[in-house]
Structure 1
Amino acid sequence: MSTIFPRSAKKTLGYSLVQVDDFLASARAAYDVNDGDALLTAEAIRHTAFAMQKGGYSPHHVDAALERLEDAFASRERERLTGSDDERTRSEEARELSSAVLNRLSRSPGHRFSRTSVLSVGYKRSDVDRFANKIVKYLRDGRALSADEVRTAVFRPERGGYREAQVDIVLDGVVDVMLFVR
């Protein structure tokens, strides 16, 4: 299968050519099947990772394509739920998730997540807190914030910073809510 992704330089790391091509072929097949029992979901696409290889596909370009693919699968999942009991259930889940995220992010700055030990590196608390304020304004006041901004949020490292796994789980939840209400 040929793709349109540019390749990284021969001595620069990029995504595995075989893994990306295989994943895209399976994603295309899953999308074409278009049944309610899809094996591939928007959430699964968000958590897809590829091995790195010299001269592989440009991570920036592949990541952008995965974001568009995730949006397409999320849209299809939402359409499938329209008017069903599943839609009401999913809507309630999205409200509960939104509420849980707001509760977490409404904590005082510096105390929104668990911290790593002084000997370990985590996300810089001030960076995360600044971004958390944007999310709160989005959820509470309807301020502009895109799923892409949440997906691509980058935080500097800091000794004794916030635990990365906790922050990442909350950001995934925010993206789930955003994709459902879109």
Structure 2
Amino acid sequence: MTTSESTRITFTETHGSEKGYDKRAVDAFLLRAREAFEEGAEPMSAADVRRAAFPIVRRGYVITAVDAALGRIEDAFAAREREAAVSSSGVHAWVGQTRETAQVVLDRLSRPKGHRFDRVGALRYGYRIDEVDLVADKLAKYLETGESVTVEQVRAVAFRMQRGGYREAQVDAVLDAVIEVILAVA
């Protein structure tokens, strides 16, 4: 048995018509992540883990289990990145960079409701504006006052779609930046 086989993470598989993440794609990504973390083989960052996506198939891995594991892996990469940045540039530079990112995000989230992000065309679907604005208000309070928000809560955010809604890529980028800020101060 090889080392990669003996330390391989296994997940529960979906059954019947329930769909899950493609097992081969998940296994390949996790192997690359492990090698990057343990051996420094191919560079990988916490953001790379956060952006990981897998095909949805029948008889795949249960999505929530894989997502939870990816969250833990992202946390480990973020902690390593924080340690490296602090040791090379110092705590003040790390805190300054985190504050700068937080301020950029706060500026975006402080825009008037309904105008925080670009909208898709009237006939296209984007994120529901009212739902995004509700989450944006909570995130803005976190950035302004430190009101409790966990990285798991931000990772779990999901929005329904509406015609003429907010552009998904912009909303997702801001959520990613909030996760980076939370992980930076964790």
TM-score using structure 1 length: 0.91
Alignment counterpart, residue 48 of structure 1, candidates 42, 45, 52: 52
Is 2:23 aligned against 1:24? no
Is 2:11 aligned against 1:11? no
Q: Deviations over 1:115-147 (max 9, x none)?
A: 112111111111111100100110000100011
Cα distance in 2 for residues equivalent to 1:14 and 1:86: 42
Count of residue pairs the alignment pairs up: 180
Alpha-carbon RMSD across the aligned residues, in angstroms, is 1.7
Partner residue, 1:164: 168
Partner residue, 1:105: 109
Secondary structure at 2:126's aligned position in 1?
A: strand
Unaligned runs of 5+ in 1: none
Cα distance in 2 for residues equivalent to 1:116 and 1:18: 34
Partner residue, 1:73: 77
Unaligned runs of 5+ in 2: none
Secondary structure at 1:56's aligned position in 2?
A: coil
Contact 1:71–1:179, Cα closer than 8 Å, also in 2 = yes
Give the fraction of aligned pairs with identical amino acids, expressed as a percent.
43
Cα distance in 2 for residues equivalent to 1:88 and 1:57: 42
Is 2:38 aligned against 1:64? no
